[in-house]
Amino acid sequence: MEVASATFNPHTETVLNPELPICDPHHHLWDRIHESYSLEDLIQDISSGHKIVSTVAIECKSNYRNYGPQEMIPVGETEFLEDVATQAKSNPSISPRVAAGIVGYADLTLGDAVVKVLEAHITASPKHFRGIRYSTNWDGSGTLRNDAPPGLLADKMFRRGFDCLRRYDLNFDACIYHPQLTELANLAHAFPDVTIILNHIGAPLGVGPYAGKRNEVFRVWSDGIDMVADCANIVVKLGGLGSRRSGFDWQERTVRPTSLELAQAVAPYFEYCIEKFGVHRCMFESNFPVEKRANSYLGVWNAFKCMTQDYNAAERKALFYDTAVRVYRLTEFPAVSQAFERAT
């Protein structure tokens, strides 16, 4: 679908379609040595004018416990995010339900022993905890960050740990590079009753040995998307192309791209996913604050709205709100969706 032309200035843009409800299913909160991104920082970003109803906070290996067994220290991040959810809910000045869903980390290579870690996460956040993200990014070039050894998704112990997720009806957020999409499809076929959420459309790469090869990468990536889309238990997050690994270099620009420019850049990828998965298995994501290094919160969601301006109301509602709420089981918000349906 062609993105219609419009005039946008990244410094003066107004919010498009401010009535459209949004569940942002992917953001982080972190406190690191050289940078932090707090609840206050998030609220400042999401107060730009879009109708952010709820969010899902995703693990980023921050705020871990500094005590106890090694396998249990990631529970500290869930405890921190649960505190954030409580603060946001109790503060009348904060309208979005921040961290209405929480995704943590557990070392699935523990096999059956990961059960006690999963149970600790659930105890720490009985109303909001929804699943585990395990970053298994790996590339053999030596120029990209590897978060896991090669072939981990097929590892016997990893899969034993993965099998424990269905015991507690937990999702799995998958963070991989695009050459690993076939590995994810294999995992999904082996565990058809576990919901897998592909982060950042599978991270099509544009740096290192992939720099300057966007058409070639798109062909390989789209073949992989075809495979994972055939797995009914996989849904996909549309976002994340502002990361440096994508090779767009928006971070290096003095003047950041307009929403229209962003929409035109991401449309081939996102529309391919929407075509293959359907709107009910796709959800837009901000990926803040990672994306903030390249684009503004207002601009990212304006780009998504610009890209979908020719979609009907039901399709847009699915992409911006309904899919995320359903997949992360945020069932406390049905009135918002009903109100939007009456308005449209």
Dump pLDDT digits (tens) for 296-330: 999 999 999 999 999 999 999 999 999 999 999 99
The residue behind tokens 């034993």 is 160
DSSP per residue, 196-221: EEEGGGG----SGGGTT-HHHHHHHH
Looking at the domain assignment, is residue 29 inside a domain?
Answer: yes
Residue-wise pLDDT tens digits, 183-200? 999 999 999 999 999 999
Residue-wise pLDDT tens digits, 77-114? 999 999 999 999 999 888 889 999 999 999 999 999 99
pLDDT for the residue numbered 336: 41
Handedness of CA 283, 289, 290, 292 (dihedral sign): positive
Residue-wise pLDDT tens digits, 168-182? 999 999 999 999 999
pLDDT for the residue numbered 11: 56
Is 19 within 8 Å of 51 (Cβ atoms)?
A: yes
Give Rg (Cα) of the chain: 19
Q: Which two tokens stand for residue 333?
A: 């918000």
Looking at the domain assignment, is residue 69 inside a domain?
Answer: yes
CATH number of the domain at 116, please.
3.20.20.140
Looking at the domain assignment, is residue 4 inside a domain?
Answer: no
Q: What is the mean pLDDT of residues 15-25?
A: 97
Domain that holds residue 50: 21-343
pLDDT for the residue numbered 3: 47
Looking at the domain assignment, is residue 43 inside a domain?
Answer: yes
Looking at the domain assignment, is residue 11 inside a domain?
Answer: no
pLDDT for the residue numbered 6: 41
Residue-wise pLDDT tens digits, 112-156? 999 999 999 999 999 999 999 999 999 999 999 999 999 999 999
First to last CA, the chain: 22
Looking at the domain assignment, is residue 1 inside a domain?
Answer: no
H or E stretch at 315: helix 313-317
Instruction: Report the number of distinct structural domains present in the chain.
Output: 1
Looking at the domain assignment, is residue 14 inside a domain?
Answer: no
pTM of this prediction?
A: 0.93
| Omega within 30 of 0 (cis) for the link into 289 | yes
Confidence of residue 339 (pLDDT cuts 50, 70, 90): very low
CA distances from 273 to 5, 219, 221, 227, 249 (A): 22, 13, 11, 11, 23
Residue-wise pLDDT tens digits, 211-247? 999 999 999 999 999 999 999 999 999 999 999 999 9
DSSP per residue, 234-259: EEEEE--TTSGGG---GGG-SSPPPH
Confidence of residue 10 (pLDDT cuts 50, 70, 90): low
Q: How many whole angstroms separate alpha carbon 214 and alpha carbon 222?
A: 12
Looking at the domain assignment, is residue 114 inside a domain?
Answer: yes
Q: Which two tokens stand for residue 251?
A: 């971070």
Confidence of residue 343 (pLDDT cuts 50, 70, 90): very low
